Amino acid sequence: MRPKRSASSLAALFRNPLLRAAVLALALLLAPALRAAPAWAGGGLYQYSTIDALLAGVYDGGLTMDHLLARGGFGLGTLNGLDGELVVLDGVAYHAAAGGRVDVPAGSTRTPFACVTRFAPGTSLALNGIDGLEALNAAVSAHLPTKNRFYAIRIDARFDRVRTRAIPRQTPPYAPLAEVTKQQVVTDFSGPGTLVGLYSPPFVNGVNVPGFHWHFLTGDRTGGGHVLDCAFASAEARLDGMRSFTLDLPDSRAFDGLDLADDRSKALQTVEKGTSKTE
């Protein structure tokens, strides 16, 4: 059996100049890698900025797609300038522009608001005869183990219809979101596709969208947007329940100068339900 080294014998070892030099060289070698390691350890929901800041017109943020994807490969949001909708699926960030066309933005592209997670579904739910968005929300809500957690929800299906919207890129000075939503372009899809959903508990009012928030991608990943309505005969919903939540706030004068004391829940309802022209 090996004898244990005492604290004094270990201290004597480190008085050896060659050993000290080797330890210092190793520390210097590892330091750059440690500094470059992402601060995000994973798990739970990661969010950049708040929904009330977006409602108030803060449409420019500092978080890039590369940094967002380092925090999770499943989620939703928008791009700087309120340029359409952001759908994050299977580790890829997709940009759905006004009119429903989808592309993959550069890693340096920035977002003013986004939520992502490392999707790890723990439960599934069979859904049948869903004839509208309210019916979908009710069916999923009825089976949530608790409404006091966050849930990431993925639904792959063949859709009878999906109605989406996206807002054209805005230019400063920015108007509040409830105003610019009047410019949204509504597009209808059908066929195979994926719903990327997030359920947030009621207590996040002002921080995120309480309840359900859905974005959509077609099966070939060429179309999508923010979901206004949908219908399908049958599908399986996969759910990832999350008990941790990390929020990063923008480091900007625009955000710091906001008055976020007002209740913007009515404006949020208007934005989420949105009515506009159909393409």
Between 2 and 66, the higher pLDDT residue: 66
Taking 60 as the threshold, does the pLDDT of residue 42 lie above it?
A: no
Taking 50 as the threshold, does the pLDDT of residue 39 lie above it?
A: no
Whether residue 145 is preceded by a cis peptide bond, meaning omega within 30 degrees of 0, is no
Mean pLDDT score, 102-114: 98
Mean pLDDT score, 49-70: 98
Q: Which two tokens stand for residue 82?
A: 């309120």
State the architecture of 45-273 in CATH terms.
Answer: 2-Layer Sandwich (3.30)
pLDDT in tens, 146-204: 999 999 999 999 999 999 999 999 999 999 999 999 999 999 999 999 999 999 999 99
Q: What percent of the chain has pLDDT over 90?
A: 80
Give the contacts of 206 (CB within 8 A, at least 6 positions apart): 50, 51, 52, 260, 263, 264, 265
Name the residue among 30, 58, 97 with its Cα closest to residue 251: 58
pLDDT at 270: 82
Q: How far apart are CA 275 and CA 54, in angstroms?
A: 19
Between 159 and 34, the higher pLDDT residue: 159
**152 alpha-carbon distance from chain centroid:** 9
pLDDT in tens, 228-270: 999 999 999 999 999 999 999 999 999 999 999 999 998 998 8
Name the residue among 233, 230, 236, 234 with its Cα closest to residue 215: 230
Burial 231-255 (b: 16+ CB within 10 A, else e): bbeebebbbbbbeebeebebebebb
pLDDT at 31: 45
Q: How far apart are CA 119 and CA 90, in angstroms?
A: 9
Predicted TM-score (pTM) of this structure? 0.83
Taking 80 as the threshold, does the pLDDT of residue 17 lie above it?
A: no
Which phi-psi region, left, alpha or beta, contains residue 275 (left: φ > 0; alpha: ψ -120 to 50)? beta
